[in-house]
Amino acid sequence: MSTVWFMVDDTDTTSLAYSEPHSNFAIASTKTFNATRGPAYNNTLHSTTHKASITFNFNGTSFFGVYGSLDMVKPLGTLPDITCSLDGFPTSSPQYSYDVGTANNNYLACFANSDVLSQNLGEHELVIDITNSVNSTWFFDYLTYESLPNPILNGEMLQAGNQQLIPSANYSMLSFGPGWVNQEQDDSIETNVVGSEVTINFNGTQLALYGDLNSNVSNTAPYQVDERAPVGFEIQGSGTSSTLTNTALFNTDLSIEEHKVVVTFNGSTSGNPLDINYFLITSLTQAEQASLPGLPLVASHHHQPPLCRQMFVPRPR
């Protein structure tokens, strides 16, 4: 089954329904958040100090992930309570250990995958409920969800390889060669075996790779687009005793066509491994698809005829 994972940014107020009054949510600055967990997606956040909710309706497999930022810097700071429900049923919220005095991005607030519920194709309603205490704030960043099989694309941002939600090797556009190891402690997949490759096939105009830096010793790796000359990039030393996650490793603009990109590790075992959190892909728009020989113009996935709405059955815990 060929699916993709769509990205929905906090600024997409067409798709996201923020609870009224909308003034309960504010556009938040990300400049004061430290960088150990990477930048906020699209450099935007919506914050709230109230009891509030966000509703999102989508057509997909029922699998999703909701991401936000947490601020534990302010005095007496406490954690907000974030719960999610899909079609009225509660989903999973991971438990973290937090360092008081830090503020960080890219925390998974709630999710649903095959460990949580049985997959159901169709229309779904996701409700994110936020309950703040007197001294807490929650920052909503983005959500990602799995599409129906063989979706029709129209310039959406896609995510592939995010192991917090499904195994990296299960993303349909990715293919991993030998030498890769799952890293459960930071939800990534990595290799330090020279010659190990990961291949990504997609139709799009931009590709970015995000990963972890967990050593002070830098390393190198190339990526190769459509069998052209490889382009090298540096896996920089972290410069700290902490692992830096969700770090941009490379970002490249591409021509309007189908692409095959191969990323290869060719560094040393004493330096940073090639550690992958996820790829971000800008898919082709309808107009770009129409400009390619043999590709007909098709409607956006947002306007596909809906499947019959199905209620999922929570998986026993």
- Phi, psi of 289, deg, nearest 5: -65, -40
Q: Distance of CA 253 to CAs 131, 159, 206, Å?
A: 41, 16, 4
**pLDDT digit string (tens) for 259-312?**
999 999 999 888 999 999 999 999 999 999 999 886 544 333 443 333 333 333
Do 47 and 141 contact (CB within 8 A), yes or no? no
How far are the Cα atoms of 36, 149, 226, 229 from residue 146, in angstroms, in the given order? 27, 9, 27, 33
Instruction: Domain ranges for the chain, please list them.
Output: 5-146, 157-302
Fold matches, 5-146 and 157-302 = yes
Tokens for 238?
């972290």
pLDDT digit string (tens) for 18-76?
998 777 788 876 666 766 888 899 989 999 999 999 999 999 999 999 999 988 776 55
Domain spanning 157-302, CATH architecture: Sandwich (2.60)
Class for domain 5-146, per CATH? mainly beta
CB neighbour class for 95 (10 Å; exposed up to 12, middle 13-18, buried from 19): exposed
pTM of the model: 0.89
CA within 13 Å, CB half, 66: 29
d(CA 187, CA 111): 14
